[in-house]
Structure 1
Protein backbone atom coordinates (compact mmCIF):
# COMPACT_ATOMS: atom_id res chain seq x y z
CA UNK A 1 0.00 0.00 0.00
CA UNK A 2 1.33 3.43 -0.94
CA UNK A 3 1.32 5.54 2.22
CA UNK A 4 1.83 8.69 0.18
CA UNK A 5 -1.74 8.43 -1.08
CA UNK A 6 -3.33 7.55 2.25
CA UNK A 7 -1.41 9.71 4.71
CA UNK A 8 -3.57 12.52 6.05
CA UNK A 9 -2.35 16.01 5.27
CA UNK A 10 -0.22 14.92 2.32
CA UNK A 11 -0.64 17.21 -0.64
CA UNK A 12 -0.17 15.59 -4.02
CA UNK A 13 -0.87 17.62 -7.11
CA UNK A 14 -3.04 16.04 -9.75
CA UNK A 15 -1.88 15.24 -13.22
CA UNK A 16 -4.05 17.98 -14.72
CA UNK A 17 -2.45 20.53 -12.38
CA UNK A 18 0.95 19.58 -13.79
CA UNK A 19 0.01 19.67 -17.46
CA UNK A 20 -2.99 21.93 -18.16
CA UNK A 21 -1.45 25.30 -17.16
CA UNK A 22 1.67 24.45 -19.15
CA UNK A 23 -0.34 23.57 -22.25
CA UNK A 24 -2.40 26.78 -21.95
CA UNK A 25 0.75 28.90 -21.52
CA UNK A 26 2.37 27.11 -24.47
CA UNK A 27 -0.60 27.79 -26.74
CA UNK A 28 -0.70 31.45 -25.63
CA UNK A 29 3.04 31.77 -26.31
CA UNK A 30 2.71 30.25 -29.77
CA UNK A 31 -0.20 32.59 -30.57
CA UNK A 32 1.75 35.67 -29.37
CA UNK A 33 4.76 34.73 -31.52
CA UNK A 34 2.66 34.10 -34.63
CA UNK A 35 2.62 37.74 -35.77
CA UNK A 36 5.49 39.69 -37.33
CA UNK A 37 7.55 41.27 -34.56
CA UNK A 38 5.63 39.22 -31.97
CA UNK A 39 2.94 40.54 -29.65
CA UNK A 40 5.28 41.69 -26.90
CA UNK A 41 2.51 42.83 -24.54
CA UNK A 42 1.06 39.32 -24.50
CA UNK A 43 4.52 37.78 -24.20
CA UNK A 44 5.23 39.96 -21.17
CA UNK A 45 2.06 38.73 -19.47
CA UNK A 46 2.75 35.13 -20.47
CA UNK A 47 6.30 35.38 -19.11
CA UNK A 48 4.80 35.92 -15.65
CA UNK A 49 2.64 32.82 -16.09
CA UNK A 50 5.69 30.82 -17.19
CA UNK A 51 7.58 32.01 -14.12
CA UNK A 52 4.75 30.85 -11.82
CA UNK A 53 4.48 27.50 -13.61
CA UNK A 54 8.23 26.96 -13.32
CA UNK A 55 8.27 27.94 -9.66
CA UNK A 56 5.36 25.62 -8.77
CA UNK A 57 6.93 22.80 -10.79
CA UNK A 58 10.31 23.23 -9.08
CA UNK A 59 8.89 23.54 -5.55
CA UNK A 60 6.68 20.49 -6.07
CA UNK A 61 9.55 18.46 -7.46
CA UNK A 62 11.86 19.37 -4.57
CA UNK A 63 9.11 18.67 -2.03
CA UNK A 64 8.39 15.27 -3.55
CA UNK A 65 12.09 14.37 -3.71
CA UNK A 66 12.56 15.18 -0.02
CA UNK A 67 9.82 12.79 1.03
CA UNK A 68 10.67 9.33 2.29
CA UNK A 69 8.74 7.62 -0.48
CA UNK A 70 10.45 9.56 -3.28
CA UNK A 71 11.56 6.41 -5.15
CA UNK A 72 7.95 5.18 -5.30
CA UNK A 73 6.88 8.61 -6.47
CA UNK A 74 9.55 8.64 -9.19
CA UNK A 75 8.35 5.32 -10.55
CA UNK A 76 4.75 6.44 -10.74
CA UNK A 77 4.84 10.14 -11.48
CA UNK A 78 7.98 10.96 -13.43
CA UNK A 79 6.18 10.70 -16.81
CA UNK A 80 3.65 13.32 -15.71
CA UNK A 81 6.18 15.73 -14.23
CA UNK A 82 8.53 15.43 -17.20
CA UNK A 83 5.82 16.72 -19.57
CA UNK A 84 6.09 20.46 -18.65
CA UNK A 85 9.84 20.69 -19.41
CA UNK A 86 9.27 18.79 -22.66
CA UNK A 87 6.52 21.25 -23.61
CA UNK A 88 8.89 24.16 -22.89
CA UNK A 89 11.56 22.62 -25.14
CA UNK A 90 8.99 22.00 -27.89
CA UNK A 91 7.67 25.58 -27.72
CA UNK A 92 11.20 27.00 -27.82
CA UNK A 93 12.01 24.85 -30.85
CA UNK A 94 8.86 25.91 -32.69
CA UNK A 95 9.58 29.56 -32.01
CA UNK A 96 13.20 29.13 -33.09
CA UNK A 97 12.15 27.83 -36.52
CA UNK A 98 9.41 30.48 -36.76
CA UNK A 99 6.68 27.82 -37.00
CA UNK A 100 3.90 29.89 -35.34
CA UNK A 101 4.20 32.72 -37.89
CA UNK A 102 4.67 30.27 -40.76
CA UNK A 103 1.51 28.35 -39.82
CA UNK A 104 -0.66 31.42 -39.24
CA UNK A 105 0.54 32.98 -42.49
CA UNK A 106 -0.09 29.77 -44.46
CA UNK A 107 -3.63 29.53 -43.08
CA UNK A 108 -4.26 33.20 -43.96
CA UNK A 109 -2.43 33.30 -47.30
CA UNK A 110 -5.45 33.24 -49.64
CA UNK A 111 -7.27 35.95 -47.66
CA UNK A 112 -4.12 38.08 -47.54
CA UNK A 113 -3.55 37.65 -51.29
CA UNK A 114 -7.14 38.68 -52.08
CA UNK A 115 -7.06 41.73 -49.80
CA UNK A 116 -3.62 42.76 -51.03
CA UNK A 117 -4.80 42.77 -54.65
CA UNK A 118 -7.90 44.76 -53.70
CA UNK A 119 -5.96 47.33 -51.64
CA UNK A 120 -3.31 47.71 -54.35
CA UNK A 121 -6.10 48.57 -56.80
CA UNK A 122 -7.47 51.25 -54.48
CA UNK A 123 -10.18 49.39 -52.57
CA UNK A 124 -10.13 50.66 -48.98
CA UNK A 125 -9.90 48.16 -46.14
CA UNK A 126 -12.08 48.82 -43.11
CA UNK A 127 -10.07 49.90 -40.08
CA UNK A 128 -9.53 47.21 -37.41
CA UNK A 129 -10.62 44.22 -39.42
CA UNK A 130 -9.40 40.65 -39.67
CA UNK A 131 -7.72 39.34 -42.80
CA UNK A 132 -7.47 35.60 -42.42
CA UNK A 133 -6.15 35.02 -38.89
CA UNK A 134 -4.47 38.42 -38.61
CA UNK A 135 -6.04 41.46 -36.94
CA UNK A 136 -5.24 44.28 -39.36
CA UNK A 137 -5.07 47.73 -37.81
CA UNK A 138 -4.90 49.44 -41.19
CA UNK A 139 -3.85 48.81 -44.78
CA UNK A 140 -2.50 51.15 -47.41
CA UNK A 141 -1.56 51.16 -51.02
CA UNK A 142 2.16 51.40 -51.79
CA UNK A 143 3.87 51.64 -55.18
CA UNK A 144 3.27 48.28 -56.84
CA UNK A 145 1.49 46.67 -53.89
CA UNK A 146 -0.05 47.01 -50.46
CA UNK A 147 1.01 47.11 -46.84
CA UNK A 148 -0.83 45.79 -43.77
CA UNK A 149 -0.19 46.85 -40.18
CA UNK A 150 -0.94 43.98 -37.80
CA UNK A 151 -2.67 45.06 -34.59
CA UNK A 152 -0.61 44.30 -31.48
CA UNK A 153 2.51 43.29 -33.40
CA UNK A 154 5.86 44.82 -32.56
CA UNK A 155 6.64 47.03 -29.61
CA UNK A 156 7.85 50.52 -30.44
CA UNK A 157 7.22 50.20 -34.16
CA UNK A 158 4.40 49.40 -36.53
CA UNK A 159 4.85 45.91 -37.92
CA UNK A 160 3.09 43.80 -40.51
CA UNK A 161 3.23 42.50 -44.06
CA UNK A 162 3.89 44.13 -47.39
CA UNK A 163 2.74 42.63 -50.68
CA UNK A 164 4.85 43.62 -53.65
CA UNK A 165 4.83 41.31 -56.68
CA UNK A 166 7.35 43.55 -58.51
CA UNK A 167 10.12 43.06 -55.93
CA UNK A 168 11.09 44.72 -52.69
CA UNK A 169 9.01 47.83 -52.05
CA UNK A 170 10.90 51.13 -52.17
CA UNK A 171 11.99 52.44 -48.78
CA UNK A 172 10.84 55.96 -48.11
CA UNK A 173 13.49 57.90 -46.23
CA UNK A 174 14.79 54.74 -44.57
CA UNK A 175 11.92 54.47 -42.09
CA UNK A 176 10.43 51.30 -43.56
CA UNK A 177 12.33 48.03 -43.33
CA UNK A 178 11.46 45.03 -45.48
CA UNK A 179 12.56 41.41 -45.22
CA UNK A 180 11.53 38.94 -47.90
CA UNK A 181 9.06 36.40 -46.55
CA UNK A 182 7.30 34.23 -49.18
CA UNK A 183 6.74 34.92 -52.85
CA UNK A 184 5.58 38.53 -53.19
CA UNK A 185 5.27 38.92 -49.42
CA UNK A 186 7.63 40.81 -47.14
CA UNK A 187 7.78 41.28 -43.40
CA UNK A 188 7.56 44.99 -42.85
CA UNK A 189 8.30 47.31 -39.95
CA UNK A 190 8.36 51.05 -39.54
CA UNK A 191 10.76 52.46 -36.95
CA UNK A 192 9.49 54.43 -34.00
Structure 2
Protein backbone atom coordinates (compact mmCIF):
# COMPACT_ATOMS: atom_id res chain seq x y z
CA UNK A 1 0.00 0.00 0.00
CA UNK A 2 1.29 3.48 -0.83
CA UNK A 3 1.83 5.90 2.00
CA UNK A 4 -0.26 8.47 0.15
CA UNK A 5 -3.27 7.65 -1.98
CA UNK A 6 -4.36 10.39 -4.34
CA UNK A 7 -7.98 11.16 -5.09
CA UNK A 8 -7.57 10.00 -8.69
CA UNK A 9 -6.59 6.46 -7.71
CA UNK A 10 -9.41 6.34 -5.17
CA UNK A 11 -12.07 7.15 -7.75
CA UNK A 12 -11.53 3.82 -9.50
CA UNK A 13 -12.55 2.06 -6.26
CA UNK A 14 -15.55 4.27 -5.60
CA UNK A 15 -19.12 3.10 -5.90
CA UNK A 16 -21.99 5.51 -6.41
CA UNK A 17 -22.39 6.10 -2.68
CA UNK A 18 -25.31 7.84 -1.11
CA UNK A 19 -24.43 7.39 2.55
CA UNK A 20 -20.81 7.32 3.72
CA UNK A 21 -18.82 6.90 6.94
CA UNK A 22 -15.30 8.31 7.24
CA UNK A 23 -12.94 7.05 9.95
CA UNK A 24 -9.70 8.88 10.74
CA UNK A 25 -6.86 8.16 13.14
CA UNK A 26 -4.74 11.10 11.97
CA UNK A 27 -1.00 10.43 12.02
CA UNK A 28 -1.25 8.02 14.94
CA UNK A 29 -1.67 4.28 15.12
CA UNK A 30 -5.02 3.12 16.51
CA UNK A 31 -5.21 -0.48 15.32
CA UNK A 32 -8.01 -1.35 17.73
CA UNK A 33 -10.32 1.21 16.08
CA UNK A 34 -9.42 0.05 12.55
CA UNK A 35 -9.96 -3.60 13.54
CA UNK A 36 -13.33 -2.73 15.08
CA UNK A 37 -14.48 -0.67 12.09
CA UNK A 38 -13.46 -3.30 9.52
CA UNK A 39 -15.03 -6.22 11.37
CA UNK A 40 -17.90 -8.06 9.70
CA UNK A 41 -20.21 -7.11 12.59
CA UNK A 42 -19.52 -3.40 12.06
CA UNK A 43 -19.82 -3.63 8.28
CA UNK A 44 -23.19 -5.37 8.69
CA UNK A 45 -24.37 -2.76 11.20
CA UNK A 46 -23.38 0.05 8.83
CA UNK A 47 -25.32 -1.64 6.01
CA UNK A 48 -28.34 -2.01 8.34
CA UNK A 49 -28.10 1.71 9.18
CA UNK A 50 -28.21 2.55 5.47
CA UNK A 51 -24.54 3.29 4.84
CA UNK A 52 -22.98 1.89 1.70
CA UNK A 53 -19.44 3.26 1.90
CA UNK A 54 -16.75 3.18 4.57
CA UNK A 55 -13.47 5.07 4.18
CA UNK A 56 -10.69 4.21 6.66
CA UNK A 57 -7.70 6.52 7.08
CA UNK A 58 -5.37 4.21 9.01
CA UNK A 59 -2.34 6.43 9.67
CA UNK A 60 0.73 4.58 10.92
CA UNK A 61 -1.19 1.49 12.00
CA UNK A 62 -0.17 -2.10 11.43
CA UNK A 63 -3.72 -3.26 10.71
CA UNK A 64 -4.40 -2.79 6.98
CA UNK A 65 -7.84 -4.06 5.96
CA UNK A 66 -8.35 -5.02 2.33
CA UNK A 67 -10.28 -2.47 0.25
CA UNK A 68 -13.23 -3.88 -1.68
CA UNK A 69 -16.21 -2.83 -3.72
CA UNK A 70 -19.37 -4.90 -4.05
CA UNK A 71 -22.77 -4.13 -5.51
CA UNK A 72 -24.02 -2.81 -2.17
CA UNK A 73 -20.96 -1.67 -0.19
CA UNK A 74 -17.52 -0.16 -0.64
CA UNK A 75 -14.54 -0.15 1.76
CA UNK A 76 -11.66 2.17 0.91
CA UNK A 77 -8.45 2.11 2.96
CA UNK A 78 -5.49 4.49 2.87
CA UNK A 79 -2.74 5.73 5.19
CA UNK A 80 -2.35 9.43 4.46
CA UNK A 81 -3.39 12.21 2.12
CA UNK A 82 -2.22 15.79 1.97
CA UNK A 83 -5.68 16.82 3.16
CA UNK A 84 -8.68 14.98 4.59
CA UNK A 85 -11.03 17.81 3.61
CA UNK A 86 -12.68 15.98 0.68
CA UNK A 87 -13.29 12.82 2.71
CA UNK A 88 -14.72 14.87 5.58
CA UNK A 89 -17.01 16.80 3.20
CA UNK A 90 -18.21 13.63 1.39
CA UNK A 91 -19.07 11.78 4.59
CA UNK A 92 -22.41 11.59 6.34
CA UNK A 93 -20.81 10.42 9.60
CA UNK A 94 -17.28 10.94 10.89
CA UNK A 95 -15.69 8.58 13.38
CA UNK A 96 -12.38 9.85 14.73
CA UNK A 97 -9.73 9.22 17.31
CA UNK A 98 -9.85 11.91 20.00
CA UNK A 99 -6.89 13.95 18.76
CA UNK A 100 -7.61 17.68 19.03
CA UNK A 101 -6.71 18.43 15.40
CA UNK A 102 -8.88 15.66 14.01
CA UNK A 103 -11.79 16.67 16.24
CA UNK A 104 -11.55 20.31 15.15
CA UNK A 105 -11.40 19.41 11.44
CA UNK A 106 -14.44 17.15 11.77
CA UNK A 107 -16.45 19.63 13.85
CA UNK A 108 -15.76 22.42 11.33
CA UNK A 109 -17.50 20.32 8.65
CA UNK A 110 -20.72 20.31 10.66
CA UNK A 111 -21.13 16.54 10.27
CA UNK A 112 -22.17 14.13 13.03
CA UNK A 113 -19.03 13.13 14.92
CA UNK A 114 -18.33 10.08 17.05
CA UNK A 115 -15.01 10.21 18.87
CA UNK A 116 -13.41 6.93 19.93
CA UNK A 117 -11.07 7.32 22.88
CA UNK A 118 -7.96 5.16 22.91
CA UNK A 119 -7.99 3.63 26.38
CA UNK A 120 -4.38 2.48 26.01
CA UNK A 121 -3.00 6.02 26.16
CA UNK A 122 -1.50 7.11 29.45
CA UNK A 123 -2.50 10.51 30.89
CA UNK A 124 -5.50 10.51 28.61
CA UNK A 125 -6.31 14.13 27.77
CA UNK A 126 -8.29 12.75 24.83
CA UNK A 127 -10.95 11.52 27.24
CA UNK A 128 -11.20 14.95 28.90
CA UNK A 129 -11.59 16.62 25.49
CA UNK A 130 -14.23 14.12 24.32
CA UNK A 131 -16.20 14.41 27.58
CA UNK A 132 -16.30 18.20 27.43
CA UNK A 133 -17.34 18.34 23.75
CA UNK A 134 -20.01 15.72 24.47
CA UNK A 135 -21.26 17.74 27.44
CA UNK A 136 -21.64 20.71 25.09
CA UNK A 137 -23.63 18.52 22.67
CA UNK A 138 -21.08 18.65 19.82
CA UNK A 139 -20.27 14.93 19.57
CA UNK A 140 -20.74 11.45 20.97
CA UNK A 141 -17.80 9.58 22.41
CA UNK A 142 -17.09 5.98 23.29
CA UNK A 143 -14.38 3.34 23.34
CA UNK A 144 -13.86 0.56 20.82
CA UNK A 145 -15.73 -1.85 23.09
CA UNK A 146 -18.84 0.38 23.15
CA UNK A 147 -18.74 1.74 19.58
CA UNK A 148 -21.24 -0.67 18.01
CA UNK A 149 -23.78 -0.09 20.78
CA UNK A 150 -23.39 3.67 20.40
CA UNK A 151 -23.86 3.47 16.61
CA UNK A 152 -27.04 1.42 17.13
CA UNK A 153 -28.58 3.78 19.67
CA UNK A 154 -27.24 7.31 19.12
CA UNK A 155 -29.51 10.00 17.71
CA UNK A 156 -26.98 11.74 15.47
CA UNK A 157 -29.50 14.48 14.64
CA UNK A 158 -29.40 15.66 18.28
CA UNK A 159 -25.82 16.95 17.96
CA UNK A 160 -25.32 20.73 17.97
CA UNK A 161 -23.17 22.35 15.31
CA UNK A 162 -19.80 23.66 16.48
CA UNK A 163 -19.36 27.42 15.82
CA UNK A 164 -17.73 27.56 12.35
CA UNK A 165 -14.61 29.47 11.42
CA UNK A 166 -13.51 30.34 14.94
CA UNK A 167 -10.50 28.17 15.79
CA UNK A 168 -9.65 30.53 18.65
CA UNK A 169 -12.78 29.28 20.47
CA UNK A 170 -11.48 25.73 20.15
CA UNK A 171 -7.98 26.83 21.29
CA UNK A 172 -9.43 28.50 24.38
CA UNK A 173 -11.56 25.44 25.04
CA UNK A 174 -8.49 23.16 24.75
CA UNK A 175 -6.48 25.40 27.07
CA UNK A 176 -9.23 25.09 29.70
CA UNK A 177 -9.55 21.31 29.32
CA UNK A 178 -5.78 20.86 29.55
CA UNK A 179 -5.58 23.11 32.62
CA UNK A 180 -3.55 25.89 30.96
CA UNK A 181 -6.27 28.47 31.67
CA UNK A 182 -8.98 28.77 34.27
State if a TM-score over 0.5 links the two structures.
Answer: no
Q: Which structure is higher in helix share?
A: 1
TM bucket normalised to smaller: under 0.3
Q: Structure 1 length normalisation: TM-score?
A: 0.25
Q: Structure 2 length normalisation: TM-score?
A: 0.26
State which structure, 1 or 2, has the greater radius of gyration over its C-alpha atoms: 1
